[in-house]
Amino acid sequence: MASDGDGAAAVAALGISGGGGDDWAPPLRRNLPLLAPHEVELAKLLLSEGQSHLFEHWPEPGVDDDKKRNFFDQVCRLNSSYPGGLASYIQNARKLLADSKAGKNPYDGFSPSVPSGEVLTFGDDNFVSLEEAGVKEARHAAFVLVAGGLGERLGYKGIKVALPRETTTGKCFLQHYIESILALQEASCKLVEGECNTKIPFVIMTSDDTNALTVKLLESNSYFGMEPSQVHILKQEKVACLADNDARLALDPNDKYKIQTKPHGHGDVHALLYSSGLLEQWKSTGRKWVLFFQDTNGLLFNAIPSALGVSATKGYNVNSLAVPRKAKEAIGGITKLTHVDGRTMVINVEYNQLDPLLRATGHPDGDANCETGYSPYPGNINQLILEIGPYMEELQKTHGAISEFVNPKYTDSTKTAFKSSTRLECMMQDYPKTLPPSAKVGFTVMDAWLAYAPVKNNPEDAAKVPKGNPYHSATSGEMAIYRANSLILRKAGAQIADPVIDTFNGQEVEVWPRITWIPRWGLIFKDVKAKVHSNSSVSQRSALVINGKNITIQGLSLDGTLIVNAKDEAKFNVTGHIENKGWTIQHVDHKDTSEKEEIRIRGFKFNKVEQLELNY
Site for ligand GDU, rule CB under 6 A: 146-149, 205, 207, 263-266, 294-295, 330-332, 348, 350, 380-382, 427, 429, 454, 456
Classify residue 33 by its DSSP letter. G
Identify the DSSP state of 248: P
Beta carbon of residue 200, minimum distance to ligand GDU (angstroms, whole number):
19
Q: Which is nearer to ligand GDU, 147 or 574 (CB)?
A: 147
Min dist. Cβ of residue 380 to ligand GDU (A): 4
For residues 40 and 385, which CB has a smaller minimum distance to ligand GDU in the complex? 385
DSSP string, 375-438: EEEEEEEEEEEEEHHHHHHHHHHHTT---EEE---BSSTT--SBSS-B-EEE-GGGGGGGS-TT
| Closest to 187 measured CA to CA, from 527, 485, 517, 450 | 527
Neighbours of 371 (CB within 10 A): 6
Neighbours of 47 (CB within 10 A): 18
CB of 451 to ligand GDU, least distance (A): 11
Complex with ligand GDU: residue 380 or 458, whichever CB lies closer: 380
**How far is Cα 595 from Cα 588, in angstroms, rounded to an integer?**
8
Closest distance to ligand GDU from the beta carbon of 37 (Å): 33
Nearer to ligand GDU, 116 or 352 (CB): 352
CB 96 to ligand GDU: min, Å = 17
Q: How far apart are CA 399 and CA 436, in angstroms?
A: 16
Q: How many residues does the chain have?
A: 616
Q: What is the smallest separation between the CB atom of 239 and ligand GDU, expressed in angstroms?
A: 9
Query: Closer CB to ligand GDU, residue 470 or residue 519?
Result: 470
Residues 171, 228: Cα–Cα separation, whole Å:
19
Taking the C-alpha atoms of residue 173 and residue 149, their distance in angstroms, rounded to an integer, is 15
Identity of the amino acid at 281 = Q
d(CA 234, CA 271): 11
Q: Which residues partner with 571 through β-bridges?
A: 550
Q: 132 or 295: whose CB is closer to ligand GDU?
A: 295
**Spatial CA neighbour of 476 closest among 494, 498, 499:** 499
Q: What is the Cα–Cα distance from 182 to 209, expressed in whole angstroms?
A: 27
Q: Which is nearer to ligand GDU, 135 or 446 (by Cβ)?
A: 446
> 581: Cβ–Cβ under 8 A, 6 or more apart, which residues?
560, 609, 610
Cβ 266 to ligand GDU shortest distance, Å = 4
CA distances from 530 to 116, 501, 525 (A): 34, 31, 9
CA-closest candidate to residue 350, choices 321, 371, 329, 375: 329
316/351 with CB nearer ligand GDU:
351
Of 139 and 270, the one with the shorter C-beta distance to ligand GDU is: 270
Rounded to whole angstroms, the Cα distance separating 142 from 200 reads 6
Shortest Å distance, C-beta 294 to ligand GDU? 4
Which of 325/529 has CB closer to ligand GDU?
A: 325
First to last CA, the chain: 65
* Whole-angstrom distance, CA of residue 536 vs CA of residue 337: 49
- Residue 348 CA, chain-centre distance (Å), reads 15
Nearer residue to ligand GDU within complex by CB, 146 or 545: 146
Residue whose beta carbon is closest to ligand GDU:
149
Q: How far apart, in whole angstroms, are the C-alpha atoms of residue 123 and residue 109?
A: 41
**Minimum distance of ligand GDU from residue 234's CB (angstroms):** 10
CB 602 to ligand GDU: min, Å: 18
How near is the Cβ of 264 to ligand GDU at its closest, in Å?
6
What's the closest the beta carbon of residue 524 comes to ligand GDU, in angstroms?
A: 23
The DSSP H or E segment spanning 540 is none
CB of 207 to ligand GDU, least distance (A): 6
35/310 with CB nearer ligand GDU: 310
What letter represents residue 273's amino acid? L
Contact 160/154 with Cβ under 8 angstroms? yes
Helices (H) and strands (E) in the chain, counts: 18, 29
The residue among 94 and 235 lying less far from ligand GDU, judged by its C-beta, is 235
3-state class (DSSP) for residue 45: helix
Closest approach of Cβ 461 to ligand GDU, in Å? 12
Closer to ligand GDU by CB, 148 or 519: give it: 148
Query: Could you give the CA distance from residue 195 to residue 530 in angstroms, rounded to a whole number?
Result: 25
